[in-house]
Amino acid sequence: MNDLPVKEASKGKFISFEGGEGGGKSTQLKLLAKTLKEAEIDAIETREPGGSPGAELIRKLLVEGETDRWDAQTETLLHFAARRDHLNKVILPALDNGQWVLTDRYADSTMAYQGYGHGVSKKAIHGFYQFIAGNKQPDLTIIFDMPPEEGLARADSRSNEKTADVHQKEDRYERMGLEFHSRLRDGFLDIARKNKKRCVVIDATKSIEEIQTNIKKLVFKRFRLDGDE
């Protein structure tokens, strides 16, 4: 079997939303999906880890339980296994079909969390990415930046609202400590510096409305859509 059976499907646009915890990217993804719908663009909303039935099963292994449940290498491989399934079953078919794909996290999260955060070899992460995705990259990556103290506090109150049951909380990464979260914030900013064409950093401390307006302007300009902006 060919190692790289990933087609360069790109009829639709592929946009990833990235950043640390509690930055508001999921809210903004939904708002952008609504804006695109109003512009009569067919877009799907998805997420990582997860997004396909198989990858959602792997997600549970990654986001619940003890922080030391996996070593960093095993954790990296689980993220890539989930991503491969998500790409093959959901992302590439949708793009091929002309739909836009908005994903709440993608491969930059592995580089930031497992690479910069846990210290896994960045070269190895690049290699695994090529193995599962070839040269396919998002057309645009929006990175939500905010001080980790603020993001973690927001994420904590949100996860308490969702469930009080400690066994069902998806907060394994939130419990990894401030130093880890500071490293991955620096990691995302470094990824943005190294991928200037693809990545745009958003100040996530601004209001929901201001961020929404900025993202709409960015997307309409980047993909030459008609709009009143």
Chain residues binding ligand TMP by CB under 6 A are 21, 47-49, 62-63, 79, 105, 109-110, 113-114, 170, 173
Cβ burial of 165 (10 Å; 0-12, 13-18, 19+) is: exposed
Tell me the closest approach of the beta carbon of residue 2 to ligand TMP, in angstroms: 24
Tell me the closest approach of the beta carbon of residue 227 to ligand TMP, in angstroms: 29
Q: Please, which residue, 26 or 213, has the CB nearer to ligand TMP?
A: 26
Q: Please, which residue, 18 or 140, has the CB nearer to ligand TMP?
A: 18
Tell me the closest approach of the beta carbon of residue 107 to ligand TMP, in angstroms: 7
Residues 45, 132 contacting (CB under 8 angstroms): no
Task: Give residue for tokens 């739909």.
Answer: 99
Tell me the closest approach of the beta carbon of residue 228 to ligand TMP, in angstroms: 32
Rounded-to-10 torsion of CA 160, 61, 124, 192: -30
Q: Please, which residue, 42 or 153, has the CB nearer to ligand TMP?
A: 153
Helix (H/G/I), strand (E/B), else coil: 10? coil
Q: Please, which residue, 11 or 124, has the CB nearer to ligand TMP?
A: 124
Q: Identify each DSSP E strand in the chain by its residue range.
A: 14-19, 43-47, 100-104, 140-145, 199-203
